[in-house]
Chains A and B, each alone.
Chain A
Amino acid sequence: MKNPYIPYQVNIIDAWYEAPGDRCIKTFKVTFADEKVWDTWSHKPGNCAMVGIPGVGESMFCISSSPTEKGYLRFSIMKAGKNTSALHELEAGDSFFIRGPLGNNFPLDEWKGKNIVTIGGGIGQAPLRPVIQWIRDNRADYGELELIYGARTSQDHCFKTEFEEIGSSDDCECHLSIDVEEEEWPHFVGFVPSLLMEVAPKPDNAIAVTCGPPVMINFVLQNLEKLGFTPDQVYTTLENRMKCGIGKCGRCNVGHLYVCKDGPVFSYAQLKEIPEAFA
């Protein structure tokens, strides 16, 4: 059996900034240095990987590309600490190391035939991106797809060009927002939970997936309940500080669940049982 602590080297095919600022977000498109790894690699939307550079450290990020996108993996990383700062120094042609796939995934097989609404905020769109991509690549299997996304400013919007493309396609309804008024902003102004109420997706035969800052998630969950979504129709992802990624090192637990191994994807029904989940 493979040593779960030894990472694979990946080469950066392309890298670009999604959002500027102190907490800027950079997306890396990578492929394995050893092409043979692709033969054994298989991930699903929701899965994560430990991403890092030997000599600096590792941290957990969701894989923000869908397995239907062949030949590369994507990671969108916000600059926050030591490891992410080092990763942000890297450009196309450089390499880093990943360990994975880790964690669970969105139960996309169970969701077949249902309407899906994704509600994202800021960098929280990263785990939702593969869900959207997966559904668009298996469009016949799913009902309607609605995308709700917001960030502080239009500059802070991740995946801008993709949203434009999605918005102009008929695969998916795309609702965007920013927190504060800006000139020439054609979409909604206000917080994501308000946009959600504005869009008011129907709960019948639907699944809602939300990811973003904790405050946003809290209000989104409340609002989804108001719209008639039951806890088992709502999914979210959690994050915590992680080290091993395989349920050994102890720190990422919420209640008895390890976010790295049992998560990051949880249904709201599951989380309601765990008081620590919203700490």
Chain B
Amino acid sequence: MALKKLSKEKVGEALAELSKFRLIAPAKSDDVVVFKQISDPAEAYLEYGNSTVPPKKFAFPQTETLFRFVTGSPDLTAKNVEEEGTTVIFGLRPCDARAMAIVDKLFSWDFDDPYYLKRRELTTLVGMACVEPPSVNCFCTSLGGSPFGTEGLDLLLTDMGDYYLVEALTDKGEKLEETLSSQLEDAPADDEKKAKDMAAASEGKIRRSINTEGIPEKLPDLWENGLWKKVSAACLGCGICTFLCPTCHCFDIQDEVEESGEGRRCRMWDSCMFEEYTVHASGHNPRPTRKERTRNRINHKYSYYPAHFDVIACVGCGRCINLCPVNIDILEILDQVVDA
């Protein structure tokens, strides 16, 4: 497939064209960049590092209705995700797209999750390569990703200065290129090589790393190791590291009923770092302290997930390091695991 280019002057026009779909793009409010549905191309903020909240919420919403009911009535009406329509997530980072590809495995594991999978089917991911690593704590290259990675993406954009280089990666991506045919032009012939060089340069600028080899196998042996108590000592038990993680996918299910009897069963993000996450109705909690919860978080990502799906559930986006209020650093923990 020949490479295309999208001149920066035409980005607005392209976004306007795409707003016939449910268009999701990074937007800035105060100093926080979050993905949101935009109707005006001017809202899109494409010169960003990475978003604070990952775009996972458009595949796996923070709160999502499973079905509606009226109390006392036997009729349950499942949510029809189809109604949300075709969605384009524009400008997400390769790590976040790769995270979606990783989480896809869980949601189709033995039982298909109809809500998630339908939404993924309806969604086209337009990635934005990281010409510069967005943060000092990026470590995607340690986990098989890359600032120019394409896994999970349908289309990849690369900022070439005056224009974006556009590479279609899947059928969905090609379809989207067709939609944008009047905004896209042919890319210069040497851009492919240029982009390759840029990718190598960007990879070279990733400064943090971990050798993950052997970690999944080693973690279960460290169950009683003293390191867990140490690394979790400062933990506040908040949900930052999990809610902002692009691969964290745990959820709670709760019922909400209005005075009228109309209600819904919905699911919402939950965090294994919360105390009530595992507490039994009897009051017994199999993970009674932050030590057990931290150990579970690391094990889930680096041992349990690979045991089932052959891939570590971490993409090295660095959010949990950047935003932890007490500077708990997953790479430091993993270093200790390696050294233990």
Contact = CB atoms under 8 A, between A and B. Distances in A.
Interface of A: 1, 3-7, 9, 33, 54-59, 80-84, 95, 97, 214, 239-241, 243-244, 246-251, 253-256, 261, 275-276, 279
B304 interface: yes
Contact of B224 (A81, A247, A275): A275
B303 A256 contact: yes
Given A240-B286, A275-B223, A58 B279 contact: no
Interface stretch (B29-37, B110-118, B140-148, B332-340): B110-118
Interface stretch (B16-24, B40-48, B71-79, B125-133): B71-79
Contact of B67 (A5, A59, A241): A5
A221 B66 CA distance: 41
Interface of B is mostly: mixed
B11 interface: no
Contacts, number: 118
Interface in B308-340: 308
B265 interface: yes
Interface of A is mostly: loop
Contacts of B76: 6-7, 54, 97
A9 B75 CA distance: 9
B304 A244 contact: no
A97 B45 CA distance: 47
B174 interface: no
A250 B284 CA distance: 18
Contacts of B66: 5-6
Given A54-B255, A241-B277, A244-B253, 11 more contacts: A5-B115, A6-B67, A57-B255, A58-B253, A82-B281, A241-B281, A243-B252, A244-B251, A250-B272, A255-B304, A256-B308
A249 B269 CA distance: 9
B220 interface: yes
A55 B270 contact: no
Contacts of B255: 54-57
Interface in B45-70: 66-67, 69
Nearest to A238: B286
Contacts of B300: 250, 253
A256 B307 contact: yes
Given A6-B67, A57-B255, A248 B106 contact: yes
Most buried by B among A9, A54, A249: A54
A254 B295 CA distance: 12
A228 B71 CA distance: 54
A14 to B, nearest CB: 20
Contact of B110 (A33, A97, A243, A247): A247
A241 B279 contact: yes
B281 A248 contact: no
Contacts of B250: 249-251
B136 interface: no
B134 interface: no
